[in-house]
C-alpha cells in the first residue's frame, strides 16, 4: 500500500522549468560541431529536460578558459600573461578553449589527466607558482600559507630535501611529514622536521638537511609562509611577485659520500612522476598553451541551438585557474547579448582538487564581487551566485591537521568571517554515489534512500542555511563507465534520485551526459562497457538509439510533471507491506489538480503490487485515489541489452507502455518505472 500523507502538507513545491534540467560540457576537439546539429537538437528536445546549465571542463583540467577567442593578454607583445576574453567580439562566439598552465604544480587533474607537475618534471627552466589572487593585495585579509605536498606510493626513508627556488621564493617556510596512517586520518598531523624550519630563506638551490637519522614517511609538505615578493628579471606585472615559486623539489637521503639520493621521480609525465599536489596555481599562460584536444561550446552556439528552450541558463565562471576580470567580461558579454541568465556557478570541484576551503572562499569572494559589478547597479542585478560544486554532498579535507575536517563548514565559516555569506545564493554539488557498478545493482539502488538522505542531512549539519537552495549540477549512478548505466538500473537510479532529492527540499537537478556518446571500457572489468548518456551515437556523433535513461527522463518530464513554470506539490509517501523495501513512491499534486505518482520497483526479479491510500492526521481516509488511472510503464518488456564490448547495443528498445487501469491495484514489473495519473482533478497545489 502506498500511503500518501496529505495532512502534513507538501514536502516541496517546485516548478519543472527549474527543477528538471540537463547540462552541456566541454568535449573532445571537433565534437562541439558534431553535437550541435539539427538532428541531435531535435533528439535531445524530445526528452524535455528544459532548463540548461553549462559545465566547465577547463576548471577540472587545470586550464585557463578563453570563453571567447577574441580578447587581450596582459603582455600583448609576447601574447602571454593573464587573458580577458572580449565582451565586444567582432565574430560569433562558437567555441571556447582551455589553455594549459605552464606554472602548474599538480601531477594529476580531474579531466583528461594528461598534464604534469613542473615541480618534478626534471627541468630547471620550468617552475610552479601559486595563485597571485591569494595575495593580500587581492584578498584584503591576512596572508594564508601556500603549500606543496609530495606523496610517495609507499613510505620512504627521508633525511634531506633539495629545493631549487624560482622567484618569488619563500623567506620563511617549513618542511614537514604527515604522522597519520592515511590522508584522512583525523589523528594525523603535520610534524616539522628538526632541520626543516627556515626563517631567513634566500632562494637559490641546495640540499637542506632535515634530520640526522632518516625517518620513514609517505607524505611530505613544504609549507610556504612568507614570500620574498621578488619577480623574475624583466617582469613588469605586479602579479609575478606575488605568492611563491619553486622550480624543482626532491626528497631523499644523503649517503656517506655526501651525495643526495633523490627518492622523487622527475619526468614530464604526470602518470610517471612522483605525485605532487599544490595549494593553488598561477593562471598565467601563453597563446602556445592552448589544449588542442578539448573545447567548450561557445555561448552564441549554445543559446542559438534551441537547447535552452528560451529559459534562463546557469552559467559558470572559472575561479581556480582564471581571473575575476575574465569572469566579469563573460557576464557583460552575455547580458549585452540579451541572453536569459539565472545563476552563476563559481568554480568547479575545488574539494576534488585539494584546494583548501579557506583559499577557495578568498577566491570566491573576489569572483562574486566581479560578477556582481558586471551584473549591474544595485536594484537592477538579476543573477544569483553559488557554488562550490563539490564532488559530493559530503566532503572532508585531505591531509589536514585542523580539528574540523568538514570542507563545507569551513568554507561557510570563511565566507561569514569576510562578511560575504550573502554571496552564496545557492549551494551546488555533484552526485555520483557508486564507484564500481559490478554484479547485481538492486542493493545499490535500494541503498540510495539512506545515502542521499544522509548527504543532505550532513550539508545542513555543516551549516548550509535552510534558506539557501540546494542544486545538483551533475548526477549519475557512477562517475565511471559501466554497463548498468545503459540498462534499466541507470534509468531507475536517475528517476529515484531526482524525485528523492526534490522530496528532501532540493531545488534543481542537471543531467550530465546530455549528448549522444559511445560505450567506454570500464575502470573495473566486472562493470562492463557503458556510459552516462541519453543516446548511443553513430560514428558521426549523431543520436542513433535512446537509452533507458532517455525514456525514464521523458516519463518524468511529460507524464509525472506538467512541463512549464507551473507549481507542483510533492508529498511524502510510505510504502507498507512486503513492497516497502523494493518500491519507492513519489506522489505529486500537479498544477492541473491531478495526482501523478512516480513508482520505482528496484527489485530485479519480483513484481510488486500496490494500491493507494490517503491519510490525514494519522487516519486513513475512507477513499483513496479514485480510478480510472492513466498508466505509463517501462521495464524489461520494453528494453533488452546485448553486451558486446564497445559494440554493445539494445536488441529491444520500445517506448514505455501506456494503458488505462480501471481497478485500484497497480502491478509493477521487476526493475521498472511507472507513472500513475488520475484522470480527473483530485488534488490542489499550494
Determine the topology of domain 18-98+288-560 in CATH: TIM Barrel (3.20.20)
pLDDT tens track for 404-459? 999 999 999 999 999 999 999 999 999 999 999 998 999 999 998 899 999 999 99
What's the DSSP call for residue 348? Answer: S
What is the percent of the chain where pLDDT is above 90? 90
- Region 42-70: what's the mean pLDDT? 96
Q: Do the beta carbons of residue 673 and residue 554 sit within 8 Å?
A: no
DSSP β-bridge partners for residue 149:
221, 277
What is the percent of the chain where pLDDT is above 70? 98
Q: What is the CA radius of gyration of the chain?
A: 27
- Region 579-604: what's the mean pLDDT? 94
Of 219-228, 576-585, 598-607, 645-654, the poorest mean pLDDT is in: 576-585
* Architecture of the domain defined by 128-282: Sandwich (2.60)
pLDDT tens track for 457-492? 999 999 999 999 999 999 999 999 999 999 999 999
pLDDT over 90 at 393, yes or no: yes
Question: Helix, strand, or coil here: 653?
Answer: strand
Sheet holding 170-178, edge to edge: 190-198, 170-178, 215-227, 146-158, 275-278
Three-state SS annotation for 40-90: HHHHHHCCCCCCEEECCHHHHCCEEEECCCCEEEEECCCCEEEEEECCCCC
pLDDT tens track for 609-636? 999 988 875 555 545 687 899 999 999 9
Q: Is the dihedral of CA 314, 315, 318, 323 positive or negative?
A: negative
* Full-model pTM: 0.96
- Residue in this structure with the C-alpha cell 572562499, named with its chain if needed: 361
What pLDDT score does 7 carry?
86
pLDDT band at 106 (very low <50, low <70, confident <90, very high): very high
What does the domain layout of the chain look like in residue ranges? 18-98+288-560, 128-282, 568-678
pLDDT tens track for 79-103? 999 999 999 999 999 999 999 999 9
What pLDDT score does 623 carry?
57
Alpha helices, DSSP H only, in 150-287? Answer: none
Question: Mean pLDDT across the chain, nearest whole number?
Answer: 95
What pLDDT score does 686 carry?
39
Highest mean predicted confidence (pLDDT) among 126-135, 446-455, 561-570, 614-623: 126-135
How deeply is 164 buried, as exposed, middle or buried, from its count of CB atoms within 10 A (0-12, 13-18, 19+)? middle
pLDDT band at 1 (very low <50, low <70, confident <90, very high): confident
| Helix%, strand%, coil% for the chain, nearest 5 | 20, 35, 45
Q: Is the dihedral of CA 246, 247, 251, 257 positive or negative?
A: negative
What pLDDT score does 620 carry?
58
Residue 432 CB neighbour total at 10 angstroms = 16
Peptide bond before residue 628 is cis, with ω within 30 degrees of 0: yes
Quick one: cell of 294?
Answer: 578539448
Determine the topology of domain 568-678 in CATH: Immunoglobulin-like (2.60.40)
pLDDT over 50 at 138, yes or no: yes
Per-residue burial over 510-525, b = 16 or more CB atoms within 10 Å of its CB, e = otherwise? bbbbbbbbebbebeee
Quick one: which of 379, 380, 315 has its CA closest to 343?
Answer: 315
Cα separation, 84 vs 623, in Å, equals 64
What pLDDT score does 681 carry?
77
Amino acid at each position: 500500500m502506498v500511503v500518501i500523507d496529505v495532512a502534513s502538507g507538501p514536502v516541496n513545491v517546485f516548478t519543472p522549468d527549474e527543477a528538471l534540467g540537463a547540462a552541456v560540457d566541454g568535449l573532445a576537439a571537433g565534437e562541439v560541431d558534431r553535437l550541435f546539429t539539427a538532428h541531435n537538437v531535435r533528439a535531445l528536445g524530445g526528452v524535455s529536460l528544459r532548463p540548461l546549465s553549462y559545465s566547465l571542463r577547463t576548471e577540472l583540467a587545470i586550464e585557463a578558459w578563453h570563453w571567447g577567442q577574441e580578447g587581450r593578454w596582459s603582455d600583448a607583445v609576447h601574447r602571454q600573461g593573464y587573458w580577458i576574453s572580449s565582451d565586444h567580439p567582432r565574430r560569433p562566439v562558437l567555441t571556447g578553449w582551455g589553455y594549459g598552465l605552464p606554472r602548474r604544480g599538480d601531477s594529476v587533474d580531474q579531466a583528461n589527466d594528461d598534464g604534469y607537475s613542473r615541480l618534478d618534471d626534471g627541468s630547471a627552466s620550468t617552475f610552479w607558482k601559486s595563485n597571485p589572487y591569494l595575495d593580500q593585495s587581492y584578498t584584503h585579509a591576512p596572508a594564508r600559507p601556500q603549500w606543496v605536498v609530495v606523496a610517495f606510493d609507499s613510505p620512504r626513508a627521508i633525511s634531506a630535501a633539495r629545493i631549487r627556488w624560482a622567484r618569488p621564493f619563500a623567506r620563511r617556510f617549513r618542511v614537514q611529514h604527515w604522522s597519520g596512517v592515511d590522508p584522512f586520518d583525523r589523528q594525523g598531523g603535520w610534524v616539522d622536521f628538526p632541520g626543516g624550519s627556515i626563517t631567513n630563506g634566500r632562494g637559490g638551490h641546495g640540499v637542506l638537511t632535515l634530520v640526522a637519522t632518516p625517518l620513514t614517511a609517505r607524505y611530505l609538505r613544504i609549507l610556504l609562509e612568507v614570500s620574498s615578493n621578488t619577480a623574475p628579471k624583466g617582469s613588469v606585472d605586479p602579479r609575478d611577485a606575488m605568492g611563491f615559486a619553486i622550480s624543482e623539489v626532491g626528497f631523499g637521503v644523503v649517503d656517506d659520500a655526501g651525495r643526495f639520493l633523490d627518492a622523487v621521480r622527475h619526468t614530464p609525465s604526470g602518470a610517471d612522476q612522483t605525485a605532487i599536489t599544490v595549494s593553488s596555481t598561477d593562471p598565467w599562460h601563453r597563446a602556445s598553451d592552448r589544449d588542442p584536444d578539448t573545447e567548450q561550446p561557445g555561448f552564441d552556439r549554445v543559446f542559438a541551438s534551441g537547447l535552452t528552450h528560451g529559459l534562463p541558463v546557469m552559467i559558470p565562471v572559472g575561479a581556480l585557474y582564471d581571473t575575476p576580470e575574465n569572469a566579469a567580461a563573460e557576464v557583460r558579454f552575455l547580458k549585452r547579448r540579451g541572453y536569459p541568465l539565472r545563476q552563476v556557478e563559481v568554480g568547479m570541484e575545488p574539494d576534488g582538487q585539494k584546494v583548501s576551503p579557506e583559499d577557495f572562499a578568498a577566491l570566491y569572494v573576489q569572483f562574486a564581487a566581479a560578477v556582481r559589478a558586471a551584473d549591474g547597479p544595485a536594484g537592477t542585478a538579476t543573477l544569483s551566485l553559488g557554488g562550490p560544486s563539490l564532488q559530493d554532498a559530503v566532503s572532508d579535507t585531505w591531509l589536514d591537521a585542523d580539528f574540523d575536517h568538514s570542507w563545507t563548514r569551513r568554507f561557510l565559516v570563511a565566507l561569514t568571517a569576510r562578511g560575504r555569506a550573502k554571496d552564496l545564493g545557492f549551494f551546488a554539488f555533484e552526485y555520483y554515489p557508486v564507484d564500481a557498478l559490478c554484479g547485481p545493482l538492486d542493493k545499490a539502488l535500494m541503498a540510495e534512500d539512506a545515502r542521499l538522505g544522509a548527504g543532505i542531512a550532513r550539508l545542513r549539519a555543516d551549516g548550509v542555511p535552510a534558506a539557501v537552495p540546494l542544486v545538483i549540477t551533475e548526477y549519475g549512478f557512477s562517475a565511471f563507465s559501466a554497463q548498468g548505466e545503459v540498462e534499466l538500473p541507470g534509468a531507475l537510479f536517475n528517476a529515484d534520485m531526482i524525485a528523492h532529492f526534490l522530496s528532501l527540499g532540493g531545488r534543481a537537478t542537471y543531467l550530465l551526459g546530455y549528448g549522444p556518446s559511445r560505450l567506454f571500457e570500464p575502470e573495473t572489468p566486472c562493470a562492463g562497457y557503458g556510459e552516462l548518456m541519453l543516446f548511443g551515437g553513430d560514428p558521426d556523433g549523431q543520436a542513433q538509439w535512446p537509452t533507458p535513461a532517455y525514456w525514464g527522463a521523458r516519463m518524468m518530464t511529460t507524464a509525472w510533471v506538467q512541463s512549464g513554470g507551473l507549481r507542483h506539490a510533492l508529498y511524502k509517501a510510505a510504502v507498507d507491506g512486503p513492497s516497502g523495501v523494493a518500491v519507492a513512491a513519489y506522489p505529486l499534486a500537479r498544477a492541473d489538480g491531478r495526482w501523478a505518482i512516480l513508482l520505482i520497483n528496484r527489485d530485479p526479479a519480483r513484481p510488486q503490487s500496490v494500491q493507494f491510500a490517503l491519510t490525514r492526521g494519522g487516519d486513513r481516509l475512507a477513499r483513496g485515489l479514485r480510478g480510472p488511472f492513466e498508466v505509463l510503464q517501462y521495464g524489461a518488456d520494453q528494453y533488452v541489452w546485448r553486451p558486446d564490448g564497445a559494440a554493445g547495443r539494445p536488441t529491444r528498445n520500445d517506448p514505455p507502455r501506456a494503458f488505462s487501469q480501471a481497478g485500484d491495484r497497480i502491478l509493477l514489473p521487476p526493475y521498472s518505472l511507472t507513472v500513475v495519473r488520475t484522470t480527473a482533478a483530485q488534488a490542489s497545489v499550494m
